[in-house]
Structure 1
Amino acid sequence: MDPSAEFGRWKAQCLSKADLSRKGSVDEDVAEIVQLLNGQEQFFTTSSCSGRIILLDGSINGFEVQKRNCRWLLVTHKPCIKDDMIVALKNANGDAVLKFEPLVLHIQCQQLQDAQILAVRSTHGLEVPLSHKGKLMVTEDYIDFLLKIANQKMEENKKRIERFYRCLQHALERQTVTKSYPKEKVNEKTNAYSHKKKRNREKACDRCITEENDKERENDNSSGLSAAVSPEDD
């Protein structure tokens, strides 16, 4: 079977099912990006998360929580208030950990070259243990302090989602322009115009990406973006 046709069949089959994330649906803040990607023949998303604040209850091994072997006491894709966190902590029996996780997209790409325009990754996040064997190990004031940081990260994450969307649009437009102008049988005037237009689009996209990278260097505590090309449970 033609690889392109096979990819299209696989895409249709996967998109007919629910999102593979724990929530099972696409978050509002990332819906435009998912729609943009799934509207391209060379991409489709398998799972997504716009970013979240979560409280996990489980065992800790080297301060790393294994999400598959723990209980989710609280999860929100919006800013979190202290009262909700305190109530959730009362249900902790093991070692509860507060986490902030930024945007994650799991995307299948038809070819490696298609995946290259999605090569955006950052490790910014937050992970702090709050209790041990059900006993709260920090004060409520400290929890309030942590939530202020987590909520700031959530707001910054939303701004980064918007910047990523603009960069992705530029990259896809540049790809379309490149495919629209074959190297052969193009007169000099059209060729010069297309190259100038391509350079302008490249500068716009590169400027957007540069601003994103500069933002990360300026603020190590800010949230980031990540895009993966292989499907994975979120």
Structure 2
Amino acid sequence: MDRNAEFKRWKAQGLSKADLSRKGSVDEDVVELVQLLNGREQYFTTSSCAGRIILLDGNINGFEVQKQNCCWLLVTHKPCVKDDVIVALKKANGDAILKFEPLILHVQCRQLQDAQILAIRSTHGLEVPLSHKGKLMVTEEYIDFLLKVANQKMEENKKRIERFYNCLQHALEKETNSHPKEKIKDKNNSSYSHKKKRNPEACGKCIEENDKELENDDDPGISVTIFPEDY
């Protein structure tokens, strides 16, 4: 079967399913970015998160959290307040970890040159242990300080998403001009109904990438999977 035709079939199957993130849907702050990618023939997204603050209860190995074995005590995609964390910590029986994770976006790419456009890496995270075996190891004042840091990172993450959108849009337009036969989904399509005007001069900086495995939606950044030659 023609490789492009097979990728189209694979894409149609992928987009017919729910977002593979724990939430199961696309966050508001990343909807336009997801639509931009899914509107191109050479991409489709499978899992996404605009950024989140989470409190996990489980075992830790150094600073490596195995979240598949953890209980999610609290998760929010908005700024977080101390009282919510204190209440959630009362449910902790193991080692509770407060984390901020930036943009998570998993993308299937038709070929290597398509994936290279998405080559970015992120270090904009936060991970701090708060309790051990159910016992709180820090003061409420310190928790309040950590949340101020996490909330600031959340605001910066939104700005980085905007910059990344601008950079990606600019790169894709440049690629299209270089390959005029590349088909783009009709912008009158409903998936573009909420698209905003963008400033092309805002492309000076992009957020950085994380190239973790596609199936692991707990790793911050952007993951790309290349469509295999012999699929």
Normalised to the residue count of structure 2, the TM-score between the two structures is: 0.82
Identify the residue that residue 201 of structure 1 maps to in structure 2: none
Cα shift readout 1:58-81 (whole Å, capped 9, x = no counterpart): 011112110001100000011001
- How big is the shift at 1:233? 3.3
- How big is the shift at 1:107? 0.3
More helix by proportion, 1 or 2? 1
Residue 226 of structure 1, aligned match among 203, 209, 220: 209
Partner Cα separation in structure 1 for residue 208 and residue 156 of structure 2 = 10
Partner Cα separation in structure 2 for residue 115 and residue 229 of structure 1 = 14
Partner Cα separation in structure 2 for residue 229 and residue 3 of structure 1 = 25
| Secondary structure of residue in 2 paired with 1:41 | coil
Identify the residue that residue 196 of structure 1 maps to in structure 2: none
- How big is the shift at 1:170? 0.1
How do residues 28-39 of structure 1 correspond to structure 2 at under 5 angstroms? Answer: 28-39=28-39
Number of aligned residue pairs: give it. Answer: 199
Partner Cα separation in structure 2 for residue 228 and residue 99 of structure 1 = 19
Identify the residue that residue 51 of structure 1 maps to in structure 2: 51
> Quick check: which has more Rg, 1 or 2?
1
Distance 1:173-1:127 versus aligned 2 partners, 3 A rule: same
> How well do the aligned residues superpose, as a CA RMSD in angstroms?
1.7
- How big is the shift at 1:10? 0.4
How do residues 201-212 of structure 1 correspond to structure 2 at under 5 angstroms? Answer: 208-209=203-204, 211-212=205-206
How do residues 1-234 of structure 1 correspond to structure 2 at under 5 angstroms? Answer: 1-180=1-180, 208-209=203-204, 211-212=205-206, 225-226=208-209, 228=211, 231-234=214-217
Partner Cα separation in structure 2 for residue 64 and residue 229 of structure 1 = 15
Contact 2:56-2:98 within 8 A present in 1 as well: yes
Cα shift readout 1:90-134 (whole Å, capped 9, x = no counterpart): 000000000000001100000100000100111221000000000
Deviating above 4 A after TM superposition, structure 1's stretches of 4 or more consecutive aligned residues are 227-230
Partner Cα separation in structure 1 for residue 35 and residue 211 of structure 2 = 17
- How big is the shift at 1:25? 0.6
Alignment gaps of 5+ in structure 2: 182-199, 218-231
Alignment-mate amino acid for residue 87 of structure 1? V
Normalised to the residue count of structure 1, the TM-score between the two structures is: 0.81
